[in-house]
Amino acid sequence: MPLRTLDSLGSLAGKRVIVRVDFNVPLKEGVITDDGRIRAALPTLNHLLNSGARVIACSHLGRPDGTPDAKYSLQPVAQRLSELLGSPVAFARDTVGESAQGASAALDDGEIAVIENLRFEPGETAKDDAERRAFAQKLADLGDALVSDGFGVVHRKQASVYELADLLPSAAGLLIEKEVDVLDRLTENPERPYTVVLGGSKVSDKLGVIEHLLPRADKILVGGGMLFTFLAAQGHPVGRSLLEADLIDTVRGYIETAHERGVELILPVDAVMASGFAAGADHVVARSDALEDTPFGADGMGLDIGPTSAEIFADAIRSSKTVFWNGPMGVFEMPAFAAGTRTIAAALTHVDGLSVVGGGDSAAAVRQLGFTDDQFGHISTGGGASLEFLEGKKLPGLEILGWQ
Ligand code: ADP
Ligand code: MG
């Protein structure tokens, strides 16, 4: 069943619409250091406001543990939102109390209020279903309908994401609609050739994604810390590189499955070996079958894919019609080991088709390396949620909106 979208709510003029967004922005001493998540909510909020809805925006911020904590107040977010919208935003000092009720009642058509952090209330994340439902009922009393648009939280069964969507007429906002549309194209009938690029730190974080996407892709490229477990599975010594020895057999299984299914599993032919895990560490390029034949011997650590591998990966990416990339190719936080990640990101910007970046660190990496969001087909806003979607898991926050 498809996702219920905004049009399913009918005319919005004069309706009090609660919008569950993801305003969980990074803060440093009360100052927002990256307002990307607030910007991501703007299309839906503007659409609702222009339709004459009375908007009550709600979100979590940080992990305040079910009790008010000034450090996690959404007030700075409400202020930033007001600047971005270019219009006033009312702010309620509680989540479902008198202030929130008053703010909701005072709204006129086309006006917006932000209520205080959902996680100031224990009911939002309570384990007990009835407790969550009771809190969701208080939220429901603030509005006539729910628009769910916090993609970063759809994998969580929480009151504002799940129970609230059941209590009010509800639909997905534009952000969730786009995320689901794009991620679905990566799992169902992707345009071919379809290449999946995997990196990041650990194989163990990505088992589900590998298992779900391996049979669907034409090519799988492996970089990042996880590549060393793949090389070890082929019998190559890897020095002190990141290695998950307990997963060597699992990885051997992946290599076999790929072979049986005719999926091209491409491992790096070279890697950047360093004397240690430090920005200023000495480093040299070594062949993948001779990683310990460097001045560092068995003490060497692989911190990036090598330049030849990066070119091979880039060619495969550029000649694909669909590309999904998750996980940096190396320790991109240190400039000496960012080249592989930069080459792969650049290749994605040249895909004649759909290119998608998923994963929190991968999204941070492309922005840090100076790429802009519009150079890619899509940069997923939900780290954990997008990976769970691609693992084929059922996400409660989407199922409750009709998605199956
Ligand atoms: P994402 O959040 O995009 O899913 P991950 O969390 O899996 O990505 O991995 C990101 C981290 O992986 C980065 O902090 C990066 O430094 C690290 N990483 C990449 N390559 C290596 C490597 N060869 N050795 C150690 N860490 C690595
Ligand atoms: Mg990460």
Distance separating alpha carbons of residues 208 and 210, to the nearest angstrom: 6
In one-letter notation, the amino acid at residue 103 is A
Question: Does 239 contact ligand 1 (Cβ within 6 A)?
Answer: no
pLDDT, position 359: 86
Which numbered ligand comes closest to the C-alpha of 365?
1
- What's the pLDDT tens digit per position in 230-246? 999 999 999 999 999 99
Phi, psi of 220 (to 5 degrees): -125, 125
Distance separating alpha carbons of residues 320 and 203, to the nearest angstrom: 24
Which numbered ligand comes closest to the C-alpha of 291?
1
pLDDT, position 213: 92
pLDDT, position 334: 97
pLDDT, position 12: 96
Which numbered ligand comes closest to the C-alpha of 326?
1
Contact 216, 189 (CB under 8 A): no
Its pTM stands at 0.88
Return the ∠ at Cα 286 (arms to 284 and 289), rounded to 5°.
Answer: 160
166 falls in which pLDDT band (50, 70, 90)?
A: very high
pLDDT, position 1: 72
DSSP characters over 294-339: STTGGG-EEEEE-HHHHHHHHHHHHT-SEEEEES-SS-TTSGGG-H
Distance 365 CA to ligand 1 centre (A): 10
Contact 338, 223 (CB under 8 A): no
Question: Does 229 contact ligand 1 (Cβ within 6 A)?
Answer: no
Point out the ligand 1 atom lying closest to the alpha carbon of residue 223: 20
- 10 Å CB burial of residue 187 (0-12, 13-18, 19+) is middle
Question: Does 242 contact ligand 1 (Cβ within 6 A)?
Answer: yes
- What's the pLDDT tens digit per position in 52-101? 999 999 999 999 999 999 999 999 999 999 999 999 999 999 999 999 99
356 falls in which pLDDT band (50, 70, 90)?
A: very high
Handedness of CA 125, 127, 128, 130 (dihedral sign): positive
Question: Does 327 contact ligand 1 (Cβ within 6 A)?
Answer: yes
Distance 145 CA to ligand 1 centre (A): 40
Contact 272, 304 (CB under 8 A): yes
Distance 363 CA to ligand 2 centre (A): 9
- Active site residues per annotation: 37, 202, 360, 384
- What's the pLDDT tens digit per position in 13-31? 999 999 999 999 989 888 9
pLDDT, position 364: 87
34 falls in which pLDDT band (50, 70, 90)?
A: confident
Question: Does 391 contact ligand 1 (Cβ within 6 A)?
Answer: no
pLDDT surpasses 90 at 253? yes
Mode of pairing for the β-strands spanning 194-198 and 219-222 = parallel
